[in-house]
């Protein structure tokens, strides 16, 4: 079950929510407004063992992404 990031359009509060239906946006836990939107989240990958808890962001291939 994925955890998605949301932002309330009423109060601007950003929060994470475990969502069973990915098309459904939950109400804001701060103000209760149903006007929330899903945010783009960075992908995380697990490396190492379960005991090490070593979470790292995956590396992007060179030439991909921003820059000038």
- Residue 68's pLDDT is 46
Q: Distance between CA 7 and CA 39 in Å, rounded?
A: 7
Most confident of 2-6, 12-16, 18-22: 12-16
Query: In this predicted model, what pLDDT tens digit does every residue of 15-54 receive, in sequence order?
Result: 999 888 877 889 999 999 999 999 987 666 666 665 655 5
- The domain 1-41 is placed in CATH, from the list 2.20.28, 2.60.40, 3.40.109, 1.20.1440, at 2.20.28
Question: What's residue 20's pLDDT?
Answer: 83
Report pLDDT for 60.
60
**Distance between CA atoms of residues 48 and 41, nearest Å:** 22
């Amino acid at each position: 079950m994925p955890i998605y990031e949301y932002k309330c359009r009423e109060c601007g509060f950003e929060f994470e929510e475990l969502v069973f239906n990915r098309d459904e946006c939950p109400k804001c836990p701060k103000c209760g407004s149903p006007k929330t939107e899903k945010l783009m989240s960075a992908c995380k990958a697990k490396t190492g063992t379960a005991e090490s808890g070593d979470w790292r962001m995956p590396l992007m291939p060179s030439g991909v992404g921003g820059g000038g």
